[in-house]
A = this chain, B = another copy of it.
Amino acid sequence: MNQNRPVQMGVDYYPEHWDPHLWEQDAKLMADSGVRIVRVGEFAWSRMEPADGQFEWSWLDQALDTLHRNGLQVVIGTPTMTPPRWLIDKCPDILPVLPSGQLYHEGVRGHRCYNSPNMRTYSARIVQKLSERYVGHPAVIGWQTDNEFSFTDCQCTACSEAFREWVRTRYNTLEQLNQAWGTVVWSGEYSDWEQVTPPYGGSPFQNPSFLLDYSRFQSDSIVAFQTMQIEIIRHNCPDHFVTHNFHSYPQKADQYKIGQDLDFASFDYYPNPSPNKTDTAPYSGALSLDLTRGIKRRNFWIMEQLSGPPGCWFPMWRTPQPGFLRAYSWQSIARGADAVVHFRWRSATIGAEQFWHGLIDHSNVPGRRFKEFQQLCTEVNSLGERLQGSTLQNEVAILHSHDQLNALRIQPQAEGLEYYENIKVWHRALTKWGISTDVIHSSEALDGYKIIIAPHLYLLDENTAERLQAFAADGGILVLTHRTGVKNDNNLCVMASLPGMLSACSGVRVTEYDPVGGDQIQIRDEKGNTYTASQWADVLELDTAQAIAVYADQFYAESAAVTQNNWGKGAVYYVATQPDEAYLSQLLRTIAEQCGLSEIHSLPDGVQVTTRSGPNGTFRFILNLSPQSVSIPLQASYTSALDGTIKGTRLELGPYGIEILEIQ
């Protein structure tokens, strides 16, 4: 697999949607505009195989030839998200069975059970044929598996059998299963393996240990479905890369498991252009990008980037303002994207996605957005080779895990306490200080970080507890929060004072808690400043820790709300409630200064700073992802990598303005 490419721009293109007479002019305009990569093929099963075993490649041959003739590289998506109608006719068991017992009918997409043996067989064949056909095509450089994997929540017979097997492999005996899931409650004990089924009826009241394992099984089903495809592709196309396009977080499906077999991760990035979202969109987008980079702990691709107002089965969003498309594409690159493929070349005139707008409108008259895209392509192409091989080097990481997400979804703790939303607040506070942050799975190695933020380690296993303690003992700063150590890996509550296995290193014990939910309570820091908090309040007994903030009201007023505990060469913070962002921001600044983080800046709203370093230099991206003009102080004079000008003590950026500075 060859990944030695400059940073490049691309587009998603569906030749089968357009009259072939348009292909040549489209390809030429792409090439002329600076596009280097085109993704094709996913969803086109009915054209590739219009009838069982009858494969039609001529149209795709012609399309790829046309693209190649214009110097474009191609990524092919496997079309397994859209089994054609003849296949459903032949194998109706491919359709997922919803928790209600109703079928997930064909007619849209995603109408396939990952565990259906027929779906596996026919998917393997189309992937086999497709990869055989195009391994040698000079345009093709890599593959995308399927499209935006997510849970179908299928409960068909095949799923039931596969789940039973999964459970049996994990627990061996019914005794161990009943023990592991605590099924004695409500007489739920299994007395026969046949009783192990998906959660029929979809009740949210079912056994939480069972439900968490079922979500793990669902992720594993996707992994198995994908692995089958990847093995075929790798066998046939050893020189091509394989990726998958993840989308809109948080996802219940475990992206780390799905990512394991990929060469790199991809992301479909649709930042919301609404003027009402300017406070949040830049930050939730930044988190999405950092999380995507963390899936494989390496640079990634954007496989679909916003090109115009999305819409279709929901009312359309606002159109992106001038500069928005360019700025958010640079944000992708600034956070580790090595390619930015825009969705889509031209808005569809047919089918369900007509109003998910492309770069060019239905009229085929290139407009404002397309001209902005052309400028962007020119910029990226001028810098692409210098950026090749460059990466972000961060000193802070946030830990993340789908098991935590799913467990907290299965048993909501308090109104407003949402795992991913709370991660967003930590990440946003860091981003606003200009502190570039990794987001990694909690099982990852922690070497090289100065600070680890670990929100809600609700499920806690011994290995994680030990690694975190070791991290702090070795001089790291570990930040823990309420709802840590509550459960073991089977989603059973532990019979221990919280935070359980992390009680010693944090120096605190939770003696009781108040699920504050949407109510607001007060906390007070050491300087006497008060802040609001919500969601949760642990009442602590301090063993070795020091309080650095206390509750300012409630019956536990004056008791510790945030603590610090020295541990080995490092320290452990315990944040016992959910303070507002203002407090978290101050706390993070204090911690960052103590650690001597290299860069801490108070950035204007919407401004983001990250740095990519590589063999061809170090580049600092300063992006104004807001519709306001901003002025940013610079500590020295720098050369603009965009236009070579020297930037002095202040950098002025207009709405959605960006700058890239060369750093010594």
**Which residues of A are in contact with B by a Cβ distance under 8 Å?**
14, 16-17, 43-47, 50-51, 79, 82-86, 89, 100-109, 181-192, 194-195, 199-201, 203-210, 274-276, 309, 311-319, 321-322, 347-355, 361-365, 367-369, 411-417, 492-498, 511-517, 519, 555
Contacts and interface: CB of A to CB of B under 8 A. Distances in A.
Given A50-B189, A208-B352, 11 more contacts: A45-B187, A46-B188, A82-B188, A105-B201, A208-B351, A313-B411, A314-B412, A315-B412, A355-B413, A363-B495, A363-B496
Nearest to A200: B105
A352 B200 contact: no
A130 to B, nearest CB: 14
A107 B201 contact: yes
Contact of A555 (B17, B207, B322): B322
Contact of A367 (B16, B276, B512, B516): B512
A364 to B, nearest CB: 5
Most buried by B among A189, A319, A351, A498: A351
Contact of A85 (B191, B311, B417, B517): B191
Contacts of A45: 187
B515 A315 contact: yes
A514 B195 CA distance: 54
A44 to B, nearest CB: 7
Contacts of A84: 187, 189, 191
Contact of A186 (B43, B319, B498): B43
Count identical subunits in the complex. 3
Given A192-B85, A204-B313, A363-B496, A350 B186 contact: no
Given A200-B103, A362-B495, A188 B355 contact: no
Contacts of A106: 188
24 contacts: A16-B184, A82-B187, A83-B187, A86-B192, A86-B195, A102-B201, A107-B188, A108-B205, A181-B350, A183-B351, A185-B348, A185-B352, A207-B352, A274-B519, A276-B519, A309-B514, A311-B412, A311-B414, A315-B413, A317-B517, A318-B515, A347-B493, A355-B413, A365-B511
Contacts of A364: 495
A321 B192 contact: no
Nearest to A275: B519
Query: What 4 A-B pairs are tightest by C-beta distance, nearest first?
Result: A182-B350, A185-B351, A316-B515, A46-B187
A208 B349 CA distance: 11
Most buried by B among A107, A416, A515: A107
Nearest to A497: B363
Contact of A318 (B204, B275, B363, B517): B517
Contacts of A184: 16-17, 44, 46-47, 350-351
B318 A516 contact: yes
A123 to B, nearest CB: 13
A205 B353 CA distance: 9
Contacts of A79: 187
A225 to B, nearest CB: 17
Nearest to A183: B351
A498 B355 CA distance: 15
A348 to B, nearest CB: 7
Nearest to A199: B107
Contact of A100 (B86, B102, B189, B498): B102
Contacts of A102: 100-101, 201
Nearest to A554: B321
A82 B188 CA distance: 8
Most buried by B among A184, A209, A368: A184
A192 B348 contact: no
B89 A494 contact: no
A309 B184 CA distance: 23
A489 to B, nearest CB: 14
Contact of A492 (B83, B85, B350, B368): B350
